[in-house]
């Protein structure tokens, strides 16, 4: 498609020349985002807590003709997050996009949650997002070229959901952070968005969806009567990382097959 003949500025989905970190990039939604970004030209850092898995996904991308490195970091530990950002810039030369996709859920009624359960979810889903975004934004500000920070939140941020109280609270807090980050970082050319998917079948909920009764009940609450796919979420993340979304910041983008419409 050539720009010249069309009287509108044609944006580009390509991410050539961009460096992106995907936390939680070894599995599920994060894996699909890492593959999608690499296919569209970004150099990708695949991160999770397990170096062997990060290395193996990075190797798969490199074999497919993309560019990737695997760097392990526990997002709940700010010192590890700092090292992840530093090593990314050292090894790939820059940082343009951060996708905070690492996330965990503990399924229990509130009356049975203990401090350990609470800390595990909050450390990964909120502390992780806060410090990874902070360190990535600092690197982007230092390099004076702006950037994109995409939080993989959830429709759990928008409504209560039985037995995943801490998960929903952590994701709601991420929506709040996304707004404040937009206020503080727009001046540096950094956009921040929170992508809120509905149910996608991955390891995070595999056990629940093995229960056919639970699956049938869940599908009844979804107007499209289906679960989403990791690839569909990755396509929206690509939009949020691309030129197409340059005027979106501080917003929650909901992709839930209609679940929160009722
Ligand atoms: N699946 C859904 O229905 C759904 C819906 C809405 C939102 N989401 C959100 O989408 C994101 C990805 O979910 P998913 O379904 O793809 O989950 P998943 O398949 O369980 O993958 C989670 C990823 O996060 C990594 N991770 C977990 N704890 C981490 C930590 N402390 N530090 C670094 N990495 C960590 C995991 O690797 P290691 O365990 O090896 O570290 C893995 O790569 C999550 O934020 C989730 O809340 C999912």
For residue 10, the CA-to-ligand 1 centroid distance in Å is 34
Mean confidence (pLDDT) of the chain:
97
Protein residue whose Cα sits closest to atom 25 of ligand 1: 24
What is the percent of the chain where pLDDT is above 90? Answer: 94
Average pLDDT for residues 144-160, to the nearest whole number? 97
The pTM assigned to this predicted structure is 0.98
* Spacing of C-alpha 146 from chain mean position: 18
Which class in CATH covers the domain with range 19-250?
alpha beta
Q: How high is the pLDDT of residue 102?
A: 98
Atom of ligand 1 nearest to the CA of 49: 41
Query: What tens digit of pLDDT does each residue of 203-262 get?
Result: 989 888 999 999 999 999 999 999 999 999 999 999 999 999 999 999 999 999 999 998
Average pLDDT for residues 157-161, to the nearest whole number? 96
- DSSP structure class, residue 191: E
CB of residue 75 inside a 6 A radius of ligand 1? yes
CB of residue 70 inside a 6 A radius of ligand 1? no
CB of residue 228 inside a 6 A radius of ligand 1? no
* Cα–Cα distance measured from residue 62 to residue 42, given in angstroms and rounded to the nearest whole number: 12
From 29, 123, 165, the mutation candidate for ligand 1 (largest count of ligand atoms within 8 A of CB) is: 29
* Cα–Cα distance measured from residue 19 to residue 3, given in angstroms and rounded to the nearest whole number: 25
CB of residue 157 inside a 6 A radius of ligand 1? no
Choice among 167, 188, 199, 244 that is catalytic: 167
Query: What tens digit of pLDDT does each residue of 48-106 get?
Result: 999 999 999 999 999 999 999 999 999 999 999 999 999 999 999 999 999 999 999 99
Atom of ligand 1 nearest to the CA of 204: 20
Q: Which residue has the tokens 């990874």?
A: 132
pLDDT exceeds 70 at position 5: yes
Protein residue whose Cα sits closest to atom 1 of ligand 1: 200
* Cα–Cα distance measured from residue 134 to residue 44, given in angstroms and rounded to the nearest whole number: 19
Q: Which residue has the tokens 């609450």?
A: 221
Tokens of 236: 């929206």
Q: How high is the pLDDT of residue 1?
A: 65
Q: How high is the pLDDT of residue 11?
A: 81
Average pLDDT for residues 106-132, to the nearest whole number? 98
Q: How high is the pLDDT of residue 247?
A: 97
pLDDT exceeds 80 at position 2: no
For residue 164, the CA-to-ligand 1 centroid distance in Å is 15
């Amino acid at each position: 498609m050539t720009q010249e003949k069309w009287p509108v500025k044609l944006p580009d989905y390509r991410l050539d020349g961009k460096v992106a970190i995907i936390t939680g990039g070894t599995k599920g939604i994060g894996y699909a985002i890492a593959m999608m970004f690499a296919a569209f030209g970004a150099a990708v850092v695949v991160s999770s807590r397990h170096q062997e898995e990060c290395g193996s996904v990075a190797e798969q991308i490199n074999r497919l003709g993309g560019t990737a490195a695997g760097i392990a970091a526990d997002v709940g530990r700010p010192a590890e997050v700092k090292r992840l950002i530093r090593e990314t810039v050292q090894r790939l030369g820059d940082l343009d996009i951060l996708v905070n996709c690492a996330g965990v859920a503990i399924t229990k009624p509130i009356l049975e949650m203990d401090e350990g359960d609470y800390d595990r979810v909050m450390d990964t889903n909120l502390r992780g997002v806060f410090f990874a975004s902070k360190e990535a934004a600092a690197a982007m500000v230092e390099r004076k070229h702006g950037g994109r920070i995409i939080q993989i939140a959830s429709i759990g941020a928008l409504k209560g959901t039985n037995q995943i109280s801490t998960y929903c609270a952590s994701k709601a807090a991420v929506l709040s952070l996304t707004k404040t980050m937009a206020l503080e970082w727009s001046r540096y050319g950094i956009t921040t968005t929170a992508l809120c998917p509905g149910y996608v079948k991955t390891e995070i909920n595999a056990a629940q969806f093995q229960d056919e009764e639970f699956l049938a009940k869940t599908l009844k609450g979804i107007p499209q009567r289906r679960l989403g796919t990791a690839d569909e979420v990755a396509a929206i993340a690509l939009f949020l990382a691309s030129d197409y979304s340059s005027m979106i910041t501080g917003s929650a983008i909901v992709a839930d097959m209609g679940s929160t419409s009722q």
